[in-house]
Each structure stands twice: as C-alpha cells, then as structure tokens.
C-alpha cells in the first residue's frame, strides 16, 4: 500500500545518503563551521544570484519559523500572516512562546491578498488606540501555501511594495519551496524569490533531505549575532555537517529542482486521475498537494490500497482529502492509485 498522506514519508535522496557515507570519517568542526556547509552556501548563493547572502542551516520548519521571526521582531511587535498560515495554526504556539502575537488576515485559497494587507495596515494606523496594540513588525507568507497554492510574481511584488512602504520585512516560508518553483503555474524562479523578499528558507525536510532548512538573508541582511540567537533557540546543530552535506548535494547539478519536478509531475497525474473520474477538488492546487473531495464510498474503495489524509469532513458526509506527492513518489504509486480508483 502506497501512502500519499504527506511529503515526508521516505528518508532522503539516495545521493545524500551516498555523500553521508563517503564523507563519514572526514573530521570536521561543529556548529556549521565545516567545509560542507561552506560549499553548500557557495552553491546556494550562486543558485539564488546573491553573492552576499547570509545563509544558516537549521533543522526543521517550526524551529526555523520561530527562530527567524523572533530574530527579526522587537519585543512589542507581531507578525502578520493569513489565518491558515502554518505559524498561526500548526506550530503549537511556537511564535507566542517567543513572546510575539500572530496577527491574522483572511486567507484566499491559503494566500494573503495585498489589498487585505494594505487595508489592515491603514486601519491599524488610523486607529488612535494603536499604541495600545501589538505593533506589526513583519509579514509572513508561505510559498507554496498550506493549501498548495502559489503566488504570482505580480502578487509577490505587490505584497513586497506594501511591506517596503510600512517598513516591514517580508519572510517567505519555503518548507515546500521546490514544489512551488517546479509548478507549471509558477512564474517566479529561485532568484526571483530571493529578490522579492527579505528572508526566506529553502525547505529540505520535505524536498529530499532527512532534515534541514536553509535560511537565506539575500542581501547579507541577517540580524547581528544571529548565530548566538540560533543557539539560544536550541536550533544550532552540533554536527552541522549533516545539514551541510545535504544542502551541498541538493544544490549540486540542480538536484533540488530536479527532484521537485518529480513531485509535480506525479501530482499532476494524481490530479488528472481524480479529474477524469469527475471528482471535484476543494482547491485548484498547482503543486504537490491535491485536495479531492471524496464520498464515503470513494474513500472506502481506496481503503487498504492507498493511504491519504482526511483534511476536513464536510456536513454532507463527504471529506476533503489530501494526496501529497514528493521527490520520492514513483510511477507504481500512481498506477496503484489509478487501479484503486477504477
């Protein structure tokens, strides 16, 4: 039985395991001072077209979000995000744990609307009581979003312009960045992402690595003492080589985008399979997460053949489901799904 429940059901890309084995007894300093991290940073700087970028390798997504956000905000500031943003829902209050409020905006298929952002900021500053309120300190968006949708270049530019106007850094959560960039619907590249925001991260955990997220401050704009800040957050990996080797491998010969492509090709086949059956979708996702709405009997038919996630149960007995593909999804899994649907 193949599982489509999420995009981290397998280990790592075999090339990564191979490099781990090859380099295993090479002695290296800890805490990201190793030669692999150095090489990975060089390759990432080239891939994003930012020779001055500050880059830090962290272990996981929630950790990265809270470390970056807490590193950028002053104590009295909060972070603006849509109500469905990962930091607003599924991080167990990691942002509040650091003392900051998540200020929420409505979501539109998981995305933030530039007009909403503008309206919120205008209303905030027009409200005479705003000194008694949490001050907005940055904007957080995900690319792709938690619903699999992506922002267009124009949308990112519009949001970025408002951020600039109000002096708010723009942070892009790229836990699934590769799957967004590899989407046929994407009109932005990795270089565009780097250009259009103030800080983002390149998700490794969901895109071929055992763990690891590469935080990028594209214009050398990391906060002072960010290393110490990471350590304070318990987010500094002693054997930084584990992260260095993985990102060095992922950014050698375009591996990161190549394996992201696989996820997208497989996702489009999943999408087509459901569409052919006339099964509706909760959202029209162009990336590796697909959300078909299934009836009880459709779900029953899949049982024991392919696994998937129940996203939300609808009052009419149907359920929004999630089928996620990844760098590791194989032809056979799609074929199994196809057979199960017939």
106 is a contact residue toward a copy of itself (CB under 8 A) = no
Contacting residue, 38, 46, 75, 335, with a copy of itself by CB under 8 A: 75
62 is a contact residue toward a copy of itself (CB under 8 A) = yes
Minimum gap (Å) between residue 261 Cβ and a copy of itself: 19
User: How far separated are the first and last CA of the chain, in Å rounded?
Assistant: 16
- Ramachandran bin of 280, using left for φ above 0, alpha for ψ from -120 to 50, beta for the remaining angles: beta
205 is a contact residue toward a copy of itself (CB under 8 A) = yes
Contact region for a copy of itself (CB under 8 A) — 111-119, 231-239, 251-259, 290-298? Answer: 231-239
Instruction: Tell me: cis bond preceding 286? Omega within 30 of 0 counts.
Output: no
With respect to a copy of itself, which residue has the nearer C-beta, 104 or 160?
104
332 is a contact residue toward a copy of itself (CB under 8 A) = no
61 is a contact residue toward a copy of itself (CB under 8 A) = yes
Minimum gap (Å) between residue 3 Cβ and a copy of itself: 5
The pairing of beta strand 54-58 with beta strand 213-217: antiparallel
Number of residues that bind a copy of itself (CB under 8 A): 79
210 is a contact residue toward a copy of itself (CB under 8 A) = yes
Q: Hey, what are 323's tokens?
A: 């089928």
105 is a contact residue toward a copy of itself (CB under 8 A) = no
Nearest-Å Rg of the Cα atoms of the chain is: 20
* Residues 28-47, interacting with a copy of itself (CB under 8 A): 28-31
238 is a contact residue toward a copy of itself (CB under 8 A) = yes
70 is a contact residue toward a copy of itself (CB under 8 A) = yes
Minimum gap (Å) between residue 46 Cβ and a copy of itself: 26
* Residues 292-321, interacting with a copy of itself (CB under 8 A): 310
Q: Hey, what are 331's tokens?
A: 């032809």
5 is a contact residue toward a copy of itself (CB under 8 A) = yes
* Residues 264-283, interacting with a copy of itself (CB under 8 A): none
| CA 32/CA 10 separation, integer angstroms | 25
* Residues 12-31, interacting with a copy of itself (CB under 8 A): 12, 14, 17, 20-21, 23-31
Contact region for a copy of itself (CB under 8 A) — 44-52, 144-152, 219-227, 283-291? Answer: 219-227
* Residues 126-165, interacting with a copy of itself (CB under 8 A): 128-129, 131-135
> Helix or strand or coil: residue 79?
strand
With respect to a copy of itself, which residue has the nearer C-beta, 128 or 316?
128
With respect to a copy of itself, which residue has the nearer C-beta, 3 or 189?
3
Contacting residue, 108, 118, 219, 239, with a copy of itself by CB under 8 A: 239
| CA 194/CA 171 separation, integer angstroms | 10
6 is a contact residue toward a copy of itself (CB under 8 A) = yes
The DSSP code for 113 is P
- Ramachandran bin of 82, using left for φ above 0, alpha for ψ from -120 to 50, beta for the remaining angles: beta
Contacting residue, 38, 52, 93, 331, with a copy of itself by CB under 8 A: 93
The pairing of beta strand 319-324 with beta strand 293-294: antiparallel
* Short-list 139, 191, 151, CA closest to 287: 151
Per the listing, tokens 């090859």 go with 22
* Alpha-helix residue ranges (DSSP H) falling in the chain: 14-22, 35-48, 61-72, 86-89, 94-97, 114-126, 153-166, 177-181, 190-196, 226-232, 241-250, 255-276, 296-302, 331-341
| CA 35/CA 274 separation, integer angstroms | 47
Minimum gap (Å) between residue 196 Cβ and a copy of itself: 26
Minimum gap (Å) between residue 17 Cβ and a copy of itself: 5
């Amino acid at each position: 039985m193949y599982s489509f429940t999420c995009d981290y059901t397998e280990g790592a890309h075999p090339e990564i395991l191979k490099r781990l084995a090859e380099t295993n007894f090479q002695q290296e300093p800890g805490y990201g001072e190793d030669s692999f991290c150095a090489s990975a940073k060089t390759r990432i700087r080239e891939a994003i077209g930012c020779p001055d970028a500050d880059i830090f390798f962290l272990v996981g997504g929630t950790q990265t979000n809270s470390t970056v956000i807490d590193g950028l905000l002053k104590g009295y500031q909060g972070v603006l995000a849509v109500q469905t943003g990962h930091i607003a829902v599924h991080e167990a209050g990691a942002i509040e744990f650091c003392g900051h409020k998540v200020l929420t905006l409505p979501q539109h298929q998981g995305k933030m609307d530039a007009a909403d952002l503008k309206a919120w900021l205008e209303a905030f500053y027009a409200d005479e009581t705003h000194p008694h309120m949490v001050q907005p300190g940055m904007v957080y968006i995900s690319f792709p979003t938690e619903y699999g949708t992506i922002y267009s270049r124009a949308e990112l530019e519009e949001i970025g312009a408002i951020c600039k106007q109000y002096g708010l850094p723009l942070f892009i959560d790229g836990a699934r960045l590769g799957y967004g960039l590899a989407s046929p619907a994407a009109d932005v590249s990795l270089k565009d992402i780097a250009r259009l925001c103030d800080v983002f991260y390149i998700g490794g955990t969901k895109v071929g690595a055992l763990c690891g997220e590469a935080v990028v401050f594209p214009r050398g704009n990391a906060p002072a003492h960010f290393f110490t800040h990471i350590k304070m957050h318990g987010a500094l990996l002693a054997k930084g080589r584990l992260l260095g080797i993985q990102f060095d491998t992922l950014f050698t010969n375009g591996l990161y985008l190549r394996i992201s492509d696989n996820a997208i090709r497989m996702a489009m086949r999943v999408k087509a399979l459901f569409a052919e059956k006339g099964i509706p979708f909760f959202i029209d996702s162009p990336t590796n997460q697909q959300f078909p709405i299934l009836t009880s009997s459709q779900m029953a038919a899949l049982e024991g053949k392919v696994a998937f996630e129940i996203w939300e149960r609808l009052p009419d007995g149907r359920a929004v489901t999630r089928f996620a593909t990844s760098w590791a999804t194989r032809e056979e899994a799609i074929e199994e799904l196809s057979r199960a649907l017939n």
